[in-house]
């Protein structure tokens, strides 16, 4: 199990709000805490076999989704990968519908047919997630073209891992978005590994921003997982996009605490040492932001989050499986 964030935070509370009001700070913490606890609960339930789909958890990587979605408006769009519980939740996706989807129940956000890797929320403008590496990037870029033509100032944020930057469609999308000055925020969640292969064994240069900058696109790298730096970078990029100045690329260096797929830790698998994770765990952004809040307010948010999760689990467990006659409904091939 991952370390309890209460035990990994600095004993000294931070009081600086990094320019955020008290309500903004509380809202950011609620996003972070909700994502962390939903995924920890998912990991707890998973061995029972009640959850019917593989799960790719983002525990340790919550900061990017929470920070970027914190500066988006409800009408803006977000797109994620197979590891996108965090994006879905940060953008306002329904917790119960996501949990029911993982249970394979008819009340899930894809009526139980998509599972963890295919979650969507049209109501929250979550464009949908994809199990195939990089495939959400051109789709989100196309969404950016639609948003530009729509002319209402909406923007699209697309999230992907460092492995997706090795797909040809990534570079085609960068070029198209920059050529047409599309309102697309490319967010690379660089956790250093494509499944089990480190970036250093895949590229002669690990400088992803340099490759993207070759397209003339503004690039920002956040090297240490700092949620406030990510939020500020995203806020500035979104302002530029709303002014019609085109896309931005943000590389958020993060660290995945759990295995590539599944609920457990994998530091005994030989491809990365636990010592590599410990510095990131000590810099846990969930605990960091929580420690900036008054204890009573933090406890209230924690209790609210636990109630939402308990209701979501009850909803998933009490919902029905899809009827057999739905097997071919909404299937296109």
**What is the chain's mean pLDDT, rounded?**
94
User: Does a structural domain hold residue 3?
Assistant: no
User: Does a structural domain hold residue 170?
Assistant: yes
- Using alpha carbons, select from 137, 130, 206 the residue that is nearest to residue 171: 137
Q: How confident is the model at residue 2 (pLDDT cuts 50, 70, 90)?
A: very low
User: Does a structural domain hold residue 11?
Assistant: no
Task: Return contacts of 118-121, CB within 8 angstroms, 24+ apart.
Answer: 119/80, 119/84, 119/85, 119/88, 119/93, 121/88, 121/91, 121/92, 121/93, 121/94, 121/97
Q: pLDDT tens digit string along 180-226?
A: 999 999 999 999 999 999 999 999 999 999 999 999 999 999 999 99
**Share of residues in the chain with pLDDT > 70 (%):** 95
User: Does a structural domain hold residue 5?
Assistant: no
Residue-level pLDDT at 15: 46
Residue-level pLDDT at 16: 55
User: Does a structural domain hold residue 319?
Assistant: no
Q: How confident is the model at residue 4 (pLDDT cuts 50, 70, 90)?
A: very low
User: Does a structural domain hold residue 65?
Assistant: yes
Structural domain tally of the chain?
1
User: Does a structural domain hold residue 321?
Assistant: no
Over residues 101-119, the mean pLDDT reads 96
Beta-strand (E) ranges in the chain?
A: 77-80, 126-129, 156-161, 184-190, 193-194, 197-198, 219-222, 248-253
Over residues 56-61, the mean pLDDT reads 97
Is the model's pLDDT at 11 over the cut of 70?
A: no
How much is the pTM?
A: 0.93
Q: What is the CATH number of the domain that holds 191?
A: 3.40.50.970
Residue-level pLDDT at 81: 96
Q: pLDDT tens digit string along 120-160?
A: 999 999 999 989 999 999 999 999 999 999 999 999 999 99
Q: Which domain holds residue 27?
A: 22-263+271-314
User: Does a structural domain hold residue 182?
Assistant: yes
Residue with the bigger pLDDT between 9 and 288: it is 288
- Provide φ and ψ at 224, rounded to 5°: -125, 15
Residue-level pLDDT at 5: 33
Is the model's pLDDT at 73 over the cut of 50?
A: yes
C-alpha distances in Å from residue 148, one per residue of 144, 159, 242, 313: 6, 19, 9, 39
Residue-level pLDDT at 88: 98
Residue-level pLDDT at 3: 35
Over residues 44-66, the mean pLDDT reads 97
């Amino acid at each position: 199990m991952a370390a309890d964030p209460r035990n990994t935070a600095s004993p000294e509370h931070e009081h600086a709000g990094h320019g955020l009001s008290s309500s903004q700070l509380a809202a950011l913490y609620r996003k972070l805490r909700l994502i962390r606890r939903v995924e920890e609960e998912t990991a707890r339930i998973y061995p029972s076999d009640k959850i019917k789909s593989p799960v790719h958890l983002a525990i340790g990587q919550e900061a990017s989704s929470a920070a970027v979605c914190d500066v988006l408006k409800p009408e803006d769009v977000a797109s994620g990968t197979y590891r996108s519980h965090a994006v879905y939740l940060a953008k306002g996706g329904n917790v119960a519908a996501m949990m029911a989807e993982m249970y394979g129940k008819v009340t899930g956000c894809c009526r139980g047919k998509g599972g963890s890797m295919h979650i969507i929320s049209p109501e929250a403008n979550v464009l949908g997630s994809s199990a195939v590496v990089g495939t959400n990037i051109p789709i989100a870029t196309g969404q950016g073209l639609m948003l530009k033509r729509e002319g209402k100032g909406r923007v699209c944020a697309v999230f992907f891992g460092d492995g997706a930057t090795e797909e040809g469609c990534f570079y085609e999308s960068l070029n198209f978005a920059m050529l047409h000055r599309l309102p697309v925020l490319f967010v690379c969640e660089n956790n250093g590994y494509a499944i089990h292969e480190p970036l250093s064994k895949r590229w002669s240069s690990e400088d992803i921003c340099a490759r993207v900058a070759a397209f003339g696109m503004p690039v920002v790298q956040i090297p240490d997982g700092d949620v406030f730096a990510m939020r500020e970078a995203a806020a500035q990029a979104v302002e530029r996009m709303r002014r019609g100045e085109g896309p931005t690329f943000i590389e958020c260096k993060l660290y995945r605490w759990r295995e590539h797929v599944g609920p457990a830790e994998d530091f005994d698998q030989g491809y990365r040492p636990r010592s590599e994770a410990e510095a990131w765990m000590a810099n846990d952004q969930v605990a960091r932001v929580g420690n900036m809040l008054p204890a009573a307010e933090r406890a209230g948010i924690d209790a609210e989050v636990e109630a939402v999760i308990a209701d979501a689990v009850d909803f998933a467990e009490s919902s029905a499986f899809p009827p057999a006659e739905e097997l071919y409904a909404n299937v296109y091939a």
